[in-house]
A and B are shown apart, each in its own frame.
Chain A
Amino acid sequence: MSTPLQIAVCGSIVPDPLQTLEPVTGPGGPSLKNEMMLPAVLDPWAAHALFEAAHLAQTAPGSQVWLVSLGPKAKLQQVMMTVAQKVPFELVALDGPASGFTDSFETAAALAAAIAAIPGLDRARLLVFGGWESASRGAGSTLQMVGERLGITEQFQGVDQLALTGDGSFEILERIEGGRHQVSVCAAPPAVLGWATGRLPEPRNNPQIGMANMRAIMPALQRAKATPMANTGLSFASVSLPRQQRETRIVKDMPAEEIAREIVAWIAEE
């Protein structure tokens, strides 16, 4: 039988896909125009990590999953009404900014402190999950710094698969160049895993899971500690969106190879 695990998943909210983003600069630095008005979703990279964590917890009975989330409380609450229906977890909420313009160093410090403060945390059973990237914070460094602050040296990035073995170790597939995977075996927790897309589909919305989760999520939101980000020492030389090129076409039943050929040809034109 597997040892029960403690999995802390770091993840926050990002604007819902297809939203029009417009960077603006104010006295506090850059931000997104109307950010609080935009609908939000759980960062897709973190969502993969959360679903993998829940799946892993099922295979190791007695395991616990926490979603450690730094974001504006009101928005977190709204997003939780959808996320909570997916898989069982407890929320550790930090009330602070979730835009793409916060310092990853400060973010990592806040997340690491929140994880370290989880009651009953057992480092010998701890796995820290998160996205290896973020749809809004693309530094790719936050999770590594969370691990370092927690003193966890076993770190894996671009993970697509984690399989428990009977002896407490686990095998990890990490993405490497050339579309291939590197296979590693980690002897035991603690470890940090930055997930790529994983291999699980998005779970269905399950009202019963939602109700069970909400019993702990609402109190967690009420307890959420204000966590301002000073962005000390951080300055932005310029902020811009990637140049948009819209050539919208809706195609159905087109073979993937043909789509790929068209895209390659289109890129080659640039």
Chain B
Amino acid sequence: MSQPGIQRQTMDVDIVCVGFGPATAGFLTTLSRSLVNPDGTPALESLASPGLPLQVMCYERADDIAFGVSGVVTRARGIRASLPHLDPAKIPMAAPVSQEKVVYLLDPAGASRRSPMLRLADRIVRAFGLHRHHGVELPYTPAFLHKHGGLVMSLGQFMQFVGSELMASGAVQIWPGMPVERAIVEDERVCGVCLSDQGVDREGNPEAGFMPGMDVRAALTVVGDGPVGAVGRQLDGQFGLPEGHHQREWAVGMKMVVDLPSSTNLEPGAVFHTFGYPEPEIFGFLYVHPERVATVGIFVPSWFHSPMRTSYRYLQHFMLHPYLWRYLQGAKLRSWGAKSLQESGRRGEPFLVGDGYARIGECSGSTNVLTGSGVDEAWTTGSQLAAAVLELLQQGRPLTKENLEQTYVARRRASWVEREGRVAEKARDGFHRGVIPGLIGMALAGFTNGRRSIGGEPRLLPDLKEYYRRKIQPAELDHILEACRSKGVSCHNALMERCGWPAIPYDGQLLVSHQDALLIGGKVQAPPGFADHVRFLYPDFCERCAAKMCIEMCSGQAITPGPGGIPVFDREKCVHCGACLWNCGTSLDDDPQHGNISFTAGAGGLHSTEN
């Protein structure tokens, strides 16, 4: 909120981009090559600043262009189409994919929530000795999961590589540390963006050094702010979603980048995909980079029907699984990070364009949940938009909804992103019925090109007492919850241990406390002068909420139990993953699609370039 009497500054540019992720990187890479003639004269003149080249600005909320997170193994088709001479050796941590394995992990701890059918399958596997180190390597990897010819990368290092090239071109400007508060919408037309206020207190009230966020007006606003971006969600709220589309499937991806022990025999480019452990619903991965570095992580999906679901603790148990621990024992933490994934994919696609705006990347439903791929798809959508914008500008046509549909949307519909997105559309519906129907549904969709799948609808999460009915008596459950919350800590650790999960044998190197993962791995920081970007809209709803899943799923322990049952948010620990947004179990009476948490744009977060 701006202080009355202090006017917002206004700046006119031609194109303003929200967020610098792979989609915007693809957009700017393609666009920037056609903005300046070989002799240095503008190829496209700015309408906002006549006489100058096209003025293209990109605002990124994180403090650096390389602080993004992804566990990237990618076929890199779109990336290579844009960068045909890409040499992985020039990008730190990049390696060609050398081998791929899909591994089913048995439960060595005996604490995993497995269905009777899965337990039976496990018994058969053990009885016939079909496993090694409690893991079953599938005899082959289905074609739709293949990443042959692709790359293992660090998203941070890739973004640093691309961003440096872009900035050196001088054709576009990328400004980190600058959150975009909202889009400026006038008469159903997006006219630019409003940057966040600075010099404000936690509630956003002006204080010393107050500087209202600038209005950046542009003919085209490119929205690529990811799955939980403030501008993307604002536009979803304002314009709605196309009929039949919804965004109700999510996951948190959490990862560590580690130095493998010197004795490792893992080759760069090795890729392991896992399922079955620590819970059957949790997928895992291990990718090997050059120089004995690996990325190891898990995805905790929204269809994991636990009202105590969490990620960091499960990541530790995942790493400790004997199949992986034989590689990870003696490894050392280098980096840590987490992000939300919009797993509705093509079915969560919003209106891709409107007057004055276009959507690209994950916030535009480009993630493919069947192939487990998002970076290349995001990049490709950005590149497609750039080609469309160049076509329109070169023809002198305005950036209207109609023109963007004829150019950008048409390109996208005719591309592999759309074709494969359609195949994946219903691939994971079966997981709402259970893990085995989910896996069968994925296989069906993959092998029939999406013509067959197993249906399913999201269910309400069980209440805590129901969930723990067989393991913890209600009175004891209440006691554990009260004891944890009175100490201001989340409850999942105590409950998991009560349910048989072994304690984590901290080694101070790889197995470290959650807070040390933030400090040593994520290097999490937050600059002063910005408002809290997480707020609890109606505190009385939080008081009545029994599960308080926002606390349990918070990737950075930034949300903790507070007085009167109302959670407390600490901006200095937040990694902006957005898990709180989709893990709030309280629906608003007047807007049941939304929970009780407001998640806006904010500065700070991870300061690692290796994720």
Minimum CB–CB distance from A257 to chain B (whole Å) comes to 22
The CA of A208 and the CA of B216, in the complex, are separated in Å by: 10
Cβ of A235 under 8 Å from chain B: no
- Chain A residue numbers with a CB within 8 Å of B63 are 82
Contact status of A210 and B609, CB under 8 A, knowing A18-B519, A204-B199: no
A85 touching B607, Cβ below 8 Å: no
Interface residues of B in 242-261 (CB under 8 A from A): none
Cβ of B70 under 8 Å from chain A: no
Interface residues of B in 57-75 (CB under 8 A from A): 57, 59, 63-67
Minimum CB–CB distance from B610 to chain A (whole Å) comes to 7
Partner of B516, one of A17, A34, A77, A246: A246
B609 touching A38, Cβ below 8 Å: yes
Partner of B609, one of A37, A82, A248: A37
Cβ of B35 under 8 Å from chain A: no
- Chain A residue numbers with a CB within 8 Å of B174 are 81
- Chain B 333-377: CB-based contact to A (< 8 A → 1; otherwise 0): 010000000000000000000000000000000000000000000
Contact status of A34 and B523, CB under 8 A, knowing A78-B64, A207-B214: no
Chain B residue at smallest Cβ distance from A79 = B64
Minimum CB–CB distance from A170 to chain B (whole Å) comes to 25
The CA of A203 and the CA of B198, in the complex, are separated in Å by: 10
A39 touching B198, Cβ below 8 Å: no
Of B162-170, B181-189, B219-227, B265-273, which stretch is located at the interface?
B162-170
Q: List 27 A-B contacts (CB under 8 A).
A: A18-B520, A18-B523, A18-B607, A20-B334, A37-B157, A38-B609, A39-B609, A74-B164, A78-B64, A78-B65, A78-B163, A78-B164, A81-B176, A82-B63, A82-B64, A201-B208, A202-B527, A204-B211, A205-B178, A206-B211, A207-B11, A211-B57, A214-B173, A222-B168, A246-B508, A246-B516, A252-B570
Chain A residue at smallest Cβ distance from B527 = A202
Contact status of A211 and B173, CB under 8 A, knowing A39-B64, A82-B64, A248-B515: yes
A39 touching B608, Cβ below 8 Å: yes
Cβ of A218 under 8 Å from chain B: yes
A16 touching B523, Cβ below 8 Å: yes
B177 touching A82, Cβ below 8 Å: yes
- Chain B 35-72: CB-based contact to A (< 8 A → 1; otherwise 0): 00000000000000000000001010001111100000
Cβ of A36 under 8 Å from chain B: yes
Chain A residues within CB distance 8 Å of chain B? 16-20, 34, 36-39, 74, 77-78, 81-82, 85, 201-208, 210-211, 214, 218, 221-222, 246, 248, 250, 252
Cβ of B175 under 8 Å from chain A: yes
Chain B residues within CB distance 8 Å of chain A? 9, 11, 57, 59, 63-67, 92-93, 157, 160, 163-164, 167-168, 170, 173-178, 195, 198-199, 208-209, 211, 214, 216, 334, 508, 513, 515-516, 519-520, 523, 525, 527, 529, 570, 573, 607-610
Contact status of A39 and B175, CB under 8 A, knowing A18-B523, A18-B525, A204-B211: no
Minimum CB–CB distance from A57 to chain B (whole Å) comes to 19
Minimum CB–CB distance from B404 to chain A (whole Å) comes to 26
The CA of A38 and the CA of B257, in the complex, are separated in Å by: 14
Contact status of A211 and B11, CB under 8 A, knowing A74-B164, A78-B65: yes
A208 touching B164, Cβ below 8 Å: no
Chain B residue at smallest Cβ distance from A214 = B173
The CA of A39 and the CA of B68, in the complex, are separated in Å by: 12
- Chain B residue numbers with a CB within 8 Å of A82 are 63-64, 176-177
Partner of B65, one of A18, A81, A203, A221: A81
B610 touching A37, Cβ below 8 Å: yes
The CA of A202 and the CA of B177, in the complex, are separated in Å by: 13
Further pairs besides A208-B9, A214-B173: 13, Cβ < 8 Å? A17-B607, A34-B92, A37-B610, A38-B609, A39-B67, A39-B608, A78-B167, A81-B175, A204-B199, A204-B529, A207-B216, A211-B173, A248-B513
B198 touching A205, Cβ below 8 Å: yes
- Chain A residue numbers with a CB within 8 Å of B177 are 82, 85, 205
The CA of A137 and the CA of B610, in the complex, are separated in Å by: 25
The CA of A173 and the CA of B157, in the complex, are separated in Å by: 43
- Chain B residue numbers with a CB within 8 Å of A210 are 173, 175
A218 touching B164, Cβ below 8 Å: no
The CA of A246 and the CA of B516, in the complex, are separated in Å by: 9
The CA of A78 and the CA of B65, in the complex, are separated in Å by: 8
The CA of A246 and the CA of B517, in the complex, are separated in Å by: 13
8 A-B pairs closest in CB distance: A18-B523, A204-B198, A204-B211, A218-B170, A39-B609, A37-B92, A74-B164, A39-B64
Chain A residue at smallest Cβ distance from B335 = A20
- Which among A17, A20, A246 has the greatest number of chain B C-beta atoms within 10 A? A20
B515 touching A250, Cβ below 8 Å: yes
- Chain A residue numbers with a CB within 8 Å of B527 are 202
Chain B residue at smallest Cβ distance from A249 = B515
- Chain A residue numbers with a CB within 8 Å of B214 are 207-208
- Chain A residue numbers with a CB within 8 Å of B519 are 18, 248
- Chain A residue numbers with a CB within 8 Å of B175 are 81, 85, 205, 207, 210
Chain A residue at smallest Cβ distance from B520 = A20
Partner of B523, one of A17, A81, A203, A250: A17
The CA of A201 and the CA of B198, in the complex, are separated in Å by: 13
- Chain B residue numbers with a CB within 8 Å of A36 are 92
- Chain B residue numbers with a CB within 8 Å of A85 are 175, 177-178
- Chain B residue numbers with a CB within 8 Å of A37 are 92-93, 157, 160, 609-610
- Chain B residue numbers with a CB within 8 Å of A218 are 167, 170
The CA of A250 and the CA of B488, in the complex, are separated in Å by: 12
- Chain B residue numbers with a CB within 8 Å of A17 are 523, 525, 607
A16 touching B607, Cβ below 8 Å: yes
B209 touching A201, Cβ below 8 Å: yes
